[in-house]
Chain A
């Protein structure tokens, strides 16, 4: 071990391949997807097949856990190989590149999505087999999994969820509503969090895998959003919804402790660096657009009285993105080393979202009125709309700071 940050040859290749695909194939379609509120399934199908072919498994694209791969049979590195593990680092490198093409694409990829980590982490072997096996062969049709935690009355305060569950014979009966669920409507199954008694707080939480077509489960409205419009965001309704007891994630005994809530939270330690990397990708796209605009329109053709002011802005944006990237890499690297990374994951998420928002704001200002025009190859206004949610979903910037604060001051209890 030694401090260094050069990519391996394989990582370089992976990055180069995704970079050119993002620029030449994805980006030209991005605005159309945004306007159509979705990405055509045949594109997703081809993309998934290509990713699998390119690397032998979708894992080579580093996007497992996010969508494309549900491959539980992927070889796990043995302990001696631990120092060389780089799955999360590969993931964040790939996610940044893909997001420069279109951030919604990552959210639309078929596979278990955010539902993957809780099933993988808490599911029984039988459940893992049952819920992941549907993704093994998607040649007949794409399939998604999803993660349903947020409710109209409980977002950041996860412990405050009100969707109820009660045991009735061999089934659990769920009542309540979930909102802002990515891919929730088209998902074959949703991991749904409910409570046996709100007074119990986290200890009362239960996680269920609710399959499409379960009696009493229906999809409410599909949200109309500021950005990421090609990604489906759904409301889920549970009205006397009867979920078979074998769909209680991890089985009954798992919930004698605080495991239920931990199931919800563990998902984030791995997804936050990923979301940070996506934000950085969008921010980088905006930064590079503004930089090239300045280069082409000001620097070469004539003396620029605005140079110093523009230079300062560009440098600040480039620097904040670079700093957020290194923090994100560190959070991912810690995950690969199997070291607890909750603080670092939150730092990455907070830094990435903020740096990228600033990048998108500044890029528009630097380009002037030009920056607000939407055209196939000019996406600043879209990135500006897309980026804001990166400081909101997967834990708002404020929630990240609470996570960080708790770890900076472990003796203090509340923030």
Chain B
């Protein structure tokens, strides 16, 4: 049954999160300067249930509220500060990765461990450069008796500076290319884990991004994540579902950019009237409103398909395809909304007195988190053309475009 209305419980949660978002919007420059959310904000958010494992099933240590709820909350929070959903306490993207790739025992043990406002998890997937000698990741996992030894350099790892644990992707079989990738849980305090200095980034200032170097880190076999029957499929599910959350943040950003621009053009006067009267201005905002409506609808539809897939009532193919559409539409929409919001402010938009320049920077960086528009388009086309879901083609590999995770 087609229904666009959230449940009462979801509406209550979104209302509460929107109030927090309003505060974050007022503090957006301070958050930027301090390069992080305040301890108090993290605590408040955590008490509201925004611990990062909202959509993870209860059997895996999460809140079990489903992906629809997760994208509703992320959108509402990101409308205040697009970086905030990344910078909360709790396991975050780590939870999504371990829930998809690990067993219920592995997931619930680690997620429980990291579920506190001052704990944090991270995912180390990307590498700074593509491997020039063979397909696949350069970071290696080699077997040593019952254990694994990890060596290599990971890049663009969000929250690495404060993470207590990582899901690390590394090559377990060099002969198998992108099908030879494996995943491991690595304690940040383990010998040989070195987190690099926090990078200075274009946007999303509230969350840190660092390189992570693994110098012979020993992992027991218990901490290898096998990804169920098919590792590549499980990895793809992680990227796509986490990509949907990023996309919902992009929609929150778009809405915020349009709202700010609407207020500006309703007050700023030129040629004797508010500039919103001019069609060149009004139609630009109408187009962005159309973008938002489509992206938001796709996003919710994709999330509901994943929830239905988990319940056994939808096909994975449909969930993947709609997600790919939703991700590309949301990211592209946010880049346009950020750009137009600055443009409609004229010279003022370029000044840090107004928030729109930050939203424009945030939008560009969001579009490089987890899964890009280009990667989502490749995935959609592969599905529609009935091509095999070759990991080299459909995973966000550094061969195509490096992403933040």
Interface residues of A (CB under 8 A from B): 1-8, 86, 89, 291, 294-295, 299, 308, 310-312, 314-316, 318-320, 322-324, 326-327, 329-330, 333-334, 343-344, 347, 350-351, 398, 400-402, 404-405, 408-409, 411-415
**CB proximity of A35 to chain B, nearest CB, Å:** 32
Using A319-B380, A326-B297, A351-B294 as known contacts, say yes or no to A405 and B283 having CB atoms under 8 A apart. yes
| A28→B299 CA distance, assembly (Å) | 36
Q: Which B residues are within 8 Å of any A CB, using their own CB? A: 1-7, 10, 68, 72, 262, 265-266, 274, 276-279, 282-283, 285-287, 289-290, 293-295, 297-298, 300-301, 303-305, 308, 313-314, 322, 324-325, 328-329, 374, 376-378, 380-382, 384-387
With A4-B3, A8-B1, A412-B277: A401-B287 Cβ-Cβ less than 8 Å: yes
Q: A315-B378, A315-B380 are in contact. Are A323 and B276 (CB under 8 A)?
A: no
Cα A3 to Cα B2 with chains together (Å): 8
- Taking the closest CB of chain A, its distance from the CB of B272, in whole angstroms, is 12
A295 adjacent to B386 (CB under 8 Å):
yes
Counting residue pairs across A and B whose Cβ atoms lie within 8 Å, the total is 170
A5 close to B301 (CB less than 8 A): yes
Evaluate contact between B325 and A323: CB separation under 8 angstroms: yes
Nearest CB of A to B202, in Å: 24
**In the complex, A327 Cα to B325 Cα: how many Å?**
14
Which residues on the B side are within 8 Å of A400 (C-beta)? 286
Shortest C-beta distance, B95 to chain A (Å), equals 22
Inter-chain contact B3/A3, CB cutoff 8 Å: yes
Given A1-B5, A2-B6, A319-B328, A311 contacting B382 (CB threshold 8 A) = yes
Q: Which residue of A291, A402, A404 is within 8 Å of B289 (Cβ)? A: A404
Given A5-B301, A329-B2; A316-B377 close (CB under 8 Å): yes
In the complex, are the beta carbons of A3 and B286 less than 8 A apart?
no
In chain B, what residue has the closest Cβ to A414?
A: B277
Chain B residues near A324: list those with CB within 8 A: 294
Q: Contact check, A318 vs B325: say whether CB atoms are below 8 A apart.
A: yes
Contact A330–B290 (Cβ < 8 Å): no
Partner of A3, one of B304, B314, B380: B304
Whether A291 and B385, one on each chain, are in contact in the complex, defined by CB atoms closer than 8 angstroms, is yes
Q: Judging by beta carbons under 8 Å apart, are B276 and A315 in contact?
A: no
Q: How far is it, in angstroms, between the C-alpha of A400 and the C-alpha of B286 when the chains are bound?
A: 9
Q: How far is the CB of B396 from chain A (nearest CB, A)?
A: 15
Q: Is the CB–CB distance between A323 and B6 below 8 Å?
A: no
Q: Which residues of A contact B274 (CB under 8 A)?
A: 412
Give the complex CA separation of A311 and B387 in angstroms: 11
A398: chain B residues at CB < 8 Å are 279, 283
Instruction: Write out the residue numbers on chain A whose beta carbons fall within 8 Å of the beta carbon of B381.
Output: 310-312, 314-315
| Chain B hits for A3, CB < 8 A | 3-7, 10, 68, 72, 300, 303-304
A86-B2, A351-B290, A351-B294 given; A409·B276 CB < 8 A: yes
- Contact A2/B282 with A314-B384, A329-B2 known, Cβ cut-off 8 Å: no
**Residue from the list A6, A291, A310, A322 in contact with B298, Cβ < 8 A:** A322
Q: How long is the Cα–Cα vector from A412 to B264 in the complex, in angstroms?
A: 13
Contact at B1–A6, with CB atoms within 8 Å? yes
Q: Let me know if A1 and B2 touch, CB within 8 A.
A: no
Please give, as numbers and ranges, the residues of chain A lying within 8 Å of B300 by CB-CB distance: 3, 5
Q: Kindly state the separation between the CA atoms of A140 and B287 in the bound complex, as whole angstroms.
A: 48
Would A409 and B386 be within 8 Å (CB), given that A404-B289, A414-B277 are in contact? no
Cα distance A334–B285 when bound, in Å?
Answer: 22
Cα distance A35–B324 in the bound complex, in angstroms: 40
CB-CB < 8 A to B2: which residues of A? 4-7, 86, 89, 329, 333
* Closest 3 A/B residue pairs (Cβ): A323-B294, A326-B297, A311-B381
